[in-house]
Amino acid sequence: MRNSGIGKKIMILVCILAVPGFLYYLLTVGGKNRYKSLQYFGPKHLSGTFHKFHGEKIPDTVYHTLPEFELINQSGAIVTSKEFDKKIFVVNFFYSRCPDICNQIHGNVKRLADKYAKNKMVKFVSITVDPLRDRPKTLKSYAAQYKADPNNWHFLTGDTTGVYNLARKGFLVNTLKGDDGNFIFSDKLILIDAEKRIRGYYAGTSDTDVNRLYNEIKVQIAEELRKIKAPR
């Protein structure tokens, strides 16, 4: 019985030691990295320049990036696009008088924000589509419902034209005011990389999509860290 117990302990130790090696094998085979990055969204074009990969000449692609913007957060502070330089951030649109859908979306955003609260590379942004009503004081009260940390979760407002243009031309989602005084807007959570390129859209009311986003944020973090460590 004693030998059997020792044998089990040895097997557990072997498994613990083997798992990291197995995971490494899954990612690298024969020295070739099998890491798969997230796709890019939006229009793209060739830059006319090239880079080499394993001796092969690869044309460089220029992907859609967000335009510069300047908005105001729930604390009344000006927040510009430079705030997110070299950051990964998740964006959604909403308005404070929104029915239950916004509560559901922001409940999911809070879950993500709490999980990444200690990671300074990741930020969350909620932009109102009703900037005439949703001024900083209103947004501050609204953000308090979710105990949002203003250091990593901004609730933003601005002028109507600027917000709507940013939604349509920057984040590539539709936003408009309905005849009943409510607003029609995308329920998507939008993942933006450190170079302000769109890397994913996720239904903010779907647990499956939100879980996928949680995992794909980790994938994007890995990509950004790889860039930092890559030889120049």
Tell me the one-letter amino acid at 200. G
Which spans in the chain are helix H? 2-27, 100-115, 136-144, 160-165, 207-229
Which tens digits make up the pLDDT trace of 210-228?
999 999 999 999 999 988 8
| Token duo for residue 55 | 């001796």
Across-strand partners of 33? 28
75: helix, strand or coil: coil
Would you say the C-alpha torsion 76, 77, 80, 84 has a positive or negative sign? negative
Q: Could you tell me which residues are annotated as the binding site? A: 98, 102
84: helix, strand or coil: helix
Q: Could you tell me which residues are annotated as the binding site for Cu cation? A: 98, 102
Contact 93, 186 (CB under 8 A): yes
Per-residue confidence in pLDDT tens, the chain, 232 aa: 555 555 555 455 444 444 444 443 344 444 344 558 999 999 988 866 766 666 777 777 889 999 999 999 999 999 999 999 999 999 999 999 997 899 999 999 999 999 999 999 999 999 999 999 999 999 999 999 999 999 999 999 999 999 999 999 999 999 888 777 788 899 999 999 999 999 999 999 999 999 999 999 999 999 999 888 655 4
> In angstroms, rounded to a whole number, what is the distance separating the alpha carbons of residues 153 and 106?
11
> In angstroms, rounded to a whole number, what is the distance separating the alpha carbons of residues 74 and 2?
64
Contact 202, 212 (CB under 8 A): yes
| Token duo for residue 184 | 């029609």
Contact 90, 126 (CB under 8 A): no
pTM of the prediction? Answer: 0.81
The pLDDT, as a whole number, for residue 23 is 40
> In angstroms, rounded to a whole number, what is the distance separating the alpha carbons of residues 112 and 149?
12
Contact 199, 193 (CB under 8 A): yes
